[in-house]
Structure 1
Amino acid sequence: MNRSTMWKGLLALSLALNLGTLAAVLVQQARPAPNAAAAPLNVPDYLGLAPQQRERWQQLEPAFLRDLAANWSDIRRHRESLVRHIFAESPQRASIDAEQATIAALQAAQQQRVIAQLLAERDLLDAPQREKLMNLLLSRYAQESTEEEQLHRH
């Protein structure tokens, strides 16, 4: 693999992970809280959606969340397989590369789902609401790190 291809691959993987993190934030916000003290931000309330906007928002969410959960499940399964291949008695580079390619494809598909969802949400918001959502996502993204990053920091 030449350097250019490697860097392009790393960039694609980084973008997919970043959007995956964004998707995780959106999924977490949509889940009900186990208790009031840990209640996540209710995005429709935070944005001050009008009843018609709220209805459309609620129509957009279920299919997106269902697809996202299925995609995360597939990614998790392939990540586990990747780790098993890496730590096998005799690691096979072809198997490692195949799992990595599958994960990258799943992450790219997930990235496209998130982009489509955010564009759909953007379309139903007015300018101040779009600004609030953008700032919320950017602030959450700035606070997030992957589990792998957290694992290697300790």
Structure 2
Amino acid sequence: MNRTTWTRFLLAASLALNLGIVVAIAIRPSPPRSVAIAVQPPHLNLQDYLELSVEQRTKWQQLEPAFLHELAVNWQGIRQHREALVQQIFATTPNRTAIDAEQAAIAALQGAQQQRVIAQLLAERNLLDEQQRKRLMDLLLSRYSQETTEEELLHRD
């Protein structure tokens, strides 16, 4: 084989190989997407689900408004500190002291929120009979086992 023929053969082989790779990539099935985003528990009226009596509903409804308001305020604070944290992390020159301060503020708010949730669940527990407690516990445990944070979802795949 002369040099021109050899060069043409290598070029043809290279093109065939590249074309084969492109075709393989194009026809390769994509990996299945995580269904965690699509699987959302249906809206549930907890008072109906627990089959609360009229008296229990009245007491339950007295407990909820302050708790829900406190949670909303707390989530707003967490959201603001998360935004500040992300801005600090991706700043031109990240400030580790500011990052640590935002993280500590988020942790404090999350700790306070967890205490509110525990206090609320204990108050609700006192309103319920044994069967209702079991239903609520099973519901909470099943929901907690399905939870995924947005950060986890962003980094999957």
TM-score (norm 1): 0.74
1:47 maps onto 2:54 in alignment:
no
Aligned to 1:103: 106
**Residues of 1 paired with 2:75 and 2:43: CA distance?**
20
Match of 1:61 among 42, 60, 64: 64
> What does 1:4-153 correspond to in 2, within 5 Å?
40-153=43-156
Letter matched to residue 57 of structure 2: R
Question: What do the CA deviations read for 1:77-127 (whole angstroms, capped 9, x no partner)?
Answer: 000000000000000100000000000000000000000000000000000
Following superposition, the deviation at residue 39 of structure 1 comes to: 5.8
Kindly, what percent of the aligned residue pairs are identical?
Answer: 68
Letter of the structure 1 residue corresponding to residue 48 of structure 2? D
CA distance in 2, matches of 1:97, 1:39: 38
Superimposed CA distance per residue, residues 63-89 of structure 1 (whole angstroms, 9 cap, x where no aligned partner): 000000000000000000000000000
Q: What is the DSSP-based 3-state SS (H/G/I as helix, E as strand, rest coil) of the residue aligned with 1:153? A: coil
Give the TM-score normalised by structure 2: 0.73
Report SS of the residue matched to 2:155. helix
The count of residues paired between Structure 1 and Structure 2 equals: 117
Structure 1 residue runs without a partner (length 5+): 1-37
**Runs of 5+ unmatched residues, structure 2:** 1-40
Q: RMSD of the alignment, in Å?
A: 1.1
Q: Which amino acid aligns with 1:146?
A: T
User: Residue 144 of structure 1: CA displacement?
Assistant: 1.0
